[in-house]
Chain A
Amino acid sequence: MSAAVELVDRPVRVALVGSPNAGKTTLFNALTGSSARVGNYPGVTVERREGSLRNAERAVRVLDLPGTYSVVGETADEQIVEKVLAGRLAGEPELDGIVAVVDATTLRRGLGLVRELLKRGRPTALVLTMIDEVRARGGKIEPARLSQLLGIPVLGVVGHRGVGMDPLFRILQEPWRWSKPVALPPADDAAARFAWVDEVCRKVGAEDLEPDTRSDRIDRVLLHPIAGIAVFGLVMLLLFQSIFTWAVPAMNAIDASFGELARVSRAVLPAGWLTDLWTDGVLAGVGSVLVFLPQIAILFAFIHLLQDVGYMARAAFVVDRVMGWVGLQGRSFVPLLSCYACAVPGIMAARTIQSPRERLATILVSPFMTCSARLPVYTLLIAAFVPHTTLFGVVGLQGLVLFGLYALGAATALASAALLGSTLLRGTPSTFYMELPPYRWPTARLLGRQIWHSARAFLKRAGTMILATSIVLFGLLSFPRAPADPARSPADSARANLEASAAAQLGHAIEPAIAPLGFDWKIGVGLIASLAAREVIVATLAQTYAVESKDDFNGLRDALRADVDPRTGRAVFNLPVALALCVFFVFALQCTSTVVVMARETGSWRWPALAFSYMLALAWLGSFVTYRVASAVLGT
């Protein structure tokens, strides 16, 4: 290539192209180590991964293109691949070399894509992955023979074990030296292309492999019409339990350490707003970021483990039909289930959904799933206002209301997915492809690295924003301050400070908007404060009612029951108000962490803005209807 001289000054650029499950990502990780930068292509939910080649004498940028079966673009993924290969995507410099990545066990399909790539006339090399699996299944592929037939460099590797990688590192540094493809017979349609593929396969002696009998035997149980569904249910129950219960000790420990740190700080530092900023703003903010980590770590440990052993694809295979009814895919199930713990890891887990459209739909409906932060709110309001009675002698009314709130959230999520699919995200549904990979033993090192990547991605992408918004909310809730009055008790001065704050003024300002729902300004302040995290409303109400400690659950419950509107002389809180507030929490996206993660994962603020608005509208409407209907029925 005559451009060789110009290449000296700038990094060499190569891209990995291949179908999903071709082992492209494993190869990419082996090539770039931890230097990978993950982002989004502008305006689309397609992940862009780039890294620099490890141990290279020359700077080589390796781009990991989205997995694709075709280089003609219909889905967002394929369009990106097509444009990058053609050098037509803004901001993406032209490529010096294309590396086709093909799973050696599926050579008779993969070569179809290679044929398309060769047509483009760019320097192209072929990497055959999982070459060990071919031998294990009684086949043989000689890369050298294939290289002779195609004319281009062909290398066989086992990416996750580093086998055969040295020659690859070498050739990636000088794509202009790659041998040119032989003259290929014209193949305008798929039939001609695959006839050529079969010809090539016959010449290199690539026979069809023995079926993977071990995986087959396992699948006979795990995908059995009855046993398969039972196993699926058990695995999901275990996953649900793990994020719900196993993470709790670690989360409590993080919570307690930051509480202790705040207490010690207060004891050591002089009283004043700077100390408050440190304890209630910075420490509370950092704590509110770190508290997500145990759930994210456990969830991703689970997801990566299931993915590494090969069950994740099976789970999606089992549940796909059910999710298909609302326009989602089997792969949406685990992210949505995770949202019962917290929408933040759930939305991150949506990365396992390969098609951008279904991934976006899953992300957008995630916040409707009842996350654990809503539970303290529901518990307080139900304990305070729902009668502790039993229906038909067996069903507790309080438990029934709680179940109803959970069911309402899930039903709304599924209905919204169906609605999105037929409105905003209408169009050709992404073609559904799935492969059931062979069952494999997981490796601890790979698993550890994947968990670390997920945790780091969360801290880097979302942590800083969550911290910043916590501090802003602290400011709103703390300033301006009431004049100091030594005669007041600490609880009373906390209330006075809150009443003088910008948040209280906002609470008053929004009162006309929330009055139809039966909410007064104090609930308004709670709603504003709950933007930091939903459960914060409990602490804010405790502060508003000057309850000594936010942990004094019974004290707060009694204060809520006793509160009387000074103008009307009627109780502020009653059952309809409590129910309306619960329904508000079912629908509203009052969680800046979720909003931030949604923005990071979709690559745009447009989607979280949309989700926030429609969920707020739904919350208002739902609360209004609940309040009116409950008031009419109960005659209050």
Chain B
Amino acid sequence: MQGEATSGPASASGAIPLLALAVGLTARIAEPAPGTEIPRRLADLGFVPGTELFIVRRAPFGDPIELEIRGYRLCLRAEQIESLRVLPAAREK
């Protein structure tokens, strides 16, 4: 099973903003930057460090963004997920 919520590797290494992730490329949610935390609402939806996700598509006007995480898809606005950082995996989905 993919995407168990095990703790990800140390956040400093290679984490990029989720918004910079290419469409279709799988990544794992990284530990939040020191002194910050993942917004509770996102955590309630399953956005916890170590979880796998990828960007399915952006809306025709560029925002919102459809994501696949924990086996389901949902759309969020860029401003809601701009604080999230991810560790891209090497393989394409």
Residues of A within 8 A of B (CB): 69-70, 72, 74, 105-109, 112-113, 189-191, 194-195, 197-198, 201-202, 207-209, 211, 219, 223-226, 228-229, 232, 317-322, 324, 330, 431-436
Contacts and interface: CB of A to CB of B under 8 A. Distances in A.
B59 A317 contact: yes
A36 to B, nearest CB: 28
A433 B76 contact: yes
B71 interface: yes
Given A194-B51, A208-B1, A226-B60, A108 B76 contact: no
Contact of A320 (B45, B63, B68, B72): B63
A508 B75 CA distance: 57
Contact of A108 (B44, B47, B61, B71): B71
Contacts of A324: 63, 77
Contact of B5 (A195, A209, A322): A195
B38 to A, nearest CB: 8
Contact of A191 (B1, B48, B59): B48
Contacts of A436: 66, 73, 75
A106 B71 contact: yes
Contacts, number: 119
B5 A74 contact: no
24 contacts: A69-B45, A70-B40, A70-B41, A72-B44, A105-B71, A112-B46, A189-B43, A191-B50, A194-B48, A197-B46, A198-B4, A208-B2, A219-B57, A223-B57, A223-B60, A226-B60, A317-B75, A321-B59, A321-B64, A324-B63, A330-B64, A431-B80, A432-B80, A433-B75
B contacts with A: majority SS: loop
A208 B64 contact: no
Contacts of A330: 64
Contacts of B47: 190
Interface of B: 1-7, 38, 40-41, 43-51, 57, 59-64, 66, 68, 70-77, 80
B60 A109 contact: no
A198 B66 CA distance: 22
Contacts of B50: 191
A320 B59 CA distance: 9
A108 B40 CA distance: 17
A195 B4 contact: yes
Contact of A318 (B3, B7, B43, B59): B59
Nearest to A202: B1
A312 to B, nearest CB: 13
A44 to B, nearest CB: 20
Contacts of B57: 219, 223
B28 to A, nearest CB: 13
A606 B4 CA distance: 50
Instruction: Kindly name the residue among A198, A201, A211 whose own CB sees the greatest number of chain B CB atoms within 10 A.
Output: A198
B46 A109 contact: yes
Contacts of B76: 432-434
Nearest to B72: A106
B60 A207 contact: no
A317 B66 contact: yes
A321 B62 contact: yes
Contact of A109 (B2, B72, B77): B72
Contacts of B49: 191
A494 B40 CA distance: 68
